[in-house]
Amino acid sequence: MDESAAISYSPGLMSAPAPVRVRFAPSPTGYLHVGGARTALFNWLYARRTGGTFVLRIEDTDNARNSQAAVDVILSGLRWLGLDWDEGPLTGDADGPVKGAFGPYFQSRRGEIYRRRAEELKAKGMAYEKDGALFFRMTRDPVTIPDQVVGDVVRPLTDREAVDPDWVLIRSDGVPVFHFVNVVDDLEMGITHVIRGEDHLSNTAKHIALFRAFGAEPPKYAHIPLILNLDGSKMSKRDQGASVQSYVDEGYLPEAVINYLSLLGWSSKAATNELFTRDEIAPLFELADINRSNARFDLKKLEHFHFEHARRLSPERFVSIGVEALKKVGIETAGFDPAYVRAALLTAQEKGKLFKELPIWTDFYFVNDDAVVYDAEAKTKALTPASVSALEQLASRFQSLPEYTAAALEAALKGLATELGVKVGVLIAPCRVGCTGRTVGPSLYHLLEVLGRDRVARRLARARTVAAS
């Protein structure tokens, strides 16, 4: 037995670290920026890794710009990504329902708290009024910011601050400034770790001084590198991929967006590959593994992640997202046999296309056999008098198959091509265009199997008539 360990063990002196409480504190600007989503994700991951609490707080002190719709955009973006919060508002309404005991979670509803905290600083001699505004008596000494990502940072005073480092807490119009409300809320909400964008690093000296003025220990800070465009420029609202809503609209999988965002500024030494789900990343997520250098946003790489995740998706989830994507463009699948809908959509899964493109790949399954829309170019190329006989013979071979399976259909088509002494393409092109209207789509034999004997027979017959005319 290790005697020294036994002797030094003193449970009374060992206090467990406080449970982790982190927060995502967006200002409602009208959209959820991809950088904000990544900040939310890192906070979420850290909370889940540590068994802590993830708080959502709306920083809407700038009343003129904020609206319920702007908050709803944030909430729905987070929900789409699957980043569930343990505390915070449940709707974009500042007076609406919330969960958690540290509310209100909208700064616009916390005025009383800010006034009380301002009085406290005044009473301590740490704040004073001048010209109708309330100023904070900022420390004259340099403040070291102990940052978990960047390391210790000392922010030198600017020339102006060297003359007078004090700063406004509450403006003369009564509106408290960002630094003040941000710190008061982190304090009141018991936030233990502040994980946020590096653009806030330069504010942190003020924040730390304020915590100290309240006699409180500042939270631990982790400033995460910015997300830049591929060319190194700063990502603005108009840049492609800047808004989370654009991923929803384009039909990316949230799994892919999460996976990609997680790797924008973080990489795990413990991981053997880059493909993760949210729940696979969470146990690996260490603040120490956050990169120091800025990340560059690469839409091509995100597309690749979508492709990989779409192929790995459970059939149930692929089909349910697919049905919604079709509904969005007015294609109703409700009237069809669910087994048919499922089989039809699954023929497109292997392709890993964005869900926005799914209708192009699968719309033909959900039209009447006499209403298949032929792409004009495809029709000119494939449905010509020269293909009439091929369509006729193919239809009769297919019709006589004892089993209507992809393998049997393929054997029949190839067998016929050999007998006729033609390339398979000569048969494939009119068959595909006749059944789907297009030259591209899911694997031909699989889509024929799914359409089934009767649909295929009717479609080939119609194609033959069209080709002959």
- Identify which of residues 181 and 428 has a Cβ nearer to ligand GLU in the complex: 181
> With contacts defined by CB under 6 A, how many residues of the chain interact with ligand GLU?
8
Instruction: In angstroms, give the least distance from the CB of 291 to ligand GLU.
Output: 19
Catalytic, out of 124, 237, 327, 423 = 237
Residue 184 CB, shortest distance to ligand GLU, in Å, is 12
If binding is defined by CB under 6 A, does position 41 make contact with ligand GLU?
no
**Quick one: 169 or 395, whose CB is closer to ligand GLU?**
169
Which of 287, 467 has the CB closer to ligand GLU? Answer: 287
For residue 80, the minimal CB distance to ligand GLU (Å) is 19
Identify residues 6-35 at the interface with ligand GLU (CB under 6 A). Answer: 25-27
* Shortest distance, position 165 Cβ to ligand GLU, whole Å: 21
Selected range binding ligand GLU among 67-75, 192-200, 238-246, 277-285, rule: CB under 6 A? 192-200
237 is catalytic: yes
**Contact call for residue 196 and ligand GLU (CB under 6 A):** yes
The DSSP bridge partners found for residue 221 are: 147, 194
Measured from the CB atom, the residue of 49 and 200 that comes closer to ligand GLU is 200
Give whichever of 175 and 275 is closer to ligand GLU, judged by the CB atom: 175
CB of 362 to ligand GLU, least distance (A): 40
What secondary structure, in 3-state letters, does the chain show?
CCHHHHHHCCHHHCCCCCCCEEEECCCCCCCCEHHHHHHHHHHHHHHHHHCCEEEECECCCCHHHCCHHHHHHHHHHHHHHCCCCCEEECCCCCCCCEECCCCCCEHHHCHHHHHHHHHHHHHCCCEEEECCEEEECCCCCCCEEEECCCEEEECCCCHHHHHCCCEEEECCCCCECHHHHHHHHHHHCCCCEEEEEHHHHHHHHHHHHHHHHCCCCCCEEEEECCEECCCCCECCCCCCCCEHHHHHHHCCCHHHHHHHHHCCCECCCCCCCCCCCHHHHHHHCCHHHECCCCEECCHHHHHHHHHHHHHHCCHHHHHHHHHHHHHHCCCCCCCCCHHHHHHHHHCCHHHCCCHHHHHHHHHHHHCCHHHCCCCHHHHHHHCCHHHHHHHHHHHHHHHCCCCCCHHHHHHHHHHHHHHHCCCHHHHHHHHHHHHHCCCCCCCHHHHHHHHHHHHHHHHHHHHHHHHHC
Kindly state whether residue 182 participates in binding ligand GLU, applying the rule CB under 6 A: yes
Closer to ligand GLU by Cβ: residue 26 or 352: 26
Binding to ligand GLU in span 245-304, by CB under 6 A: none
Which of the stretches 194-202, 254-262, 346-354, 417-425 binds ligand GLU when contact is defined by CB under 6 A? 194-202
200 binds ligand GLU (CB under 6 A): yes
DSSP collapsed to 3 states, 170-182:
ECCCCCECHHHHH
Confirm if 20 and 192 have CB atoms less than 8 A apart: yes
From 193-201, 224-232, 292-300, 375-383, span contacting ligand GLU (CB under 6 A): 193-201
Least distance from C-beta 337 to ligand GLU, angstroms?
A: 49
- Residue placing its CB nearer to ligand GLU in the complex, 194 or 433: 194
243 binds ligand GLU (CB under 6 A): no
Q: How far is the CB of 120 from ligand GLU (least distance, A)?
A: 21
Question: CB-wise, 25 or 295, nearer to ligand GLU?
Answer: 25
Kindly state the smallest distance separating residue 320's Cβ from ligand GLU, in Å.
33
278: closest CA among 248, 306, 258?
258
Contact indicator for 428, 365 with CB cutoff of 8 Å: no
- Residue 433's nearest CA partner among 387, 389, 379, 386 is 379
Is residue 42 classed exposed, middle or buried when 0-12, 13-18 and 19+ CB atoms within 10 A define those classes? buried
Give the residue from 350, 395, 345 showing the smallest Cα distance to 366. Answer: 345
- Taking the complex as a whole, the smallest distance from the CB of residue 181 to ligand GLU amounts, in Å, to 9
When the beta carbons of 92 and 430 are compared against ligand GLU, the nearer one is 92
Contact (Cβ atoms closer than 8 angstroms) between residue 224 and residue 42: yes
Catalytic center residues: 237
Task: Using CB under 6 A, list all residues that contact ligand GLU.
Answer: 25-27, 59, 182, 194, 196, 200
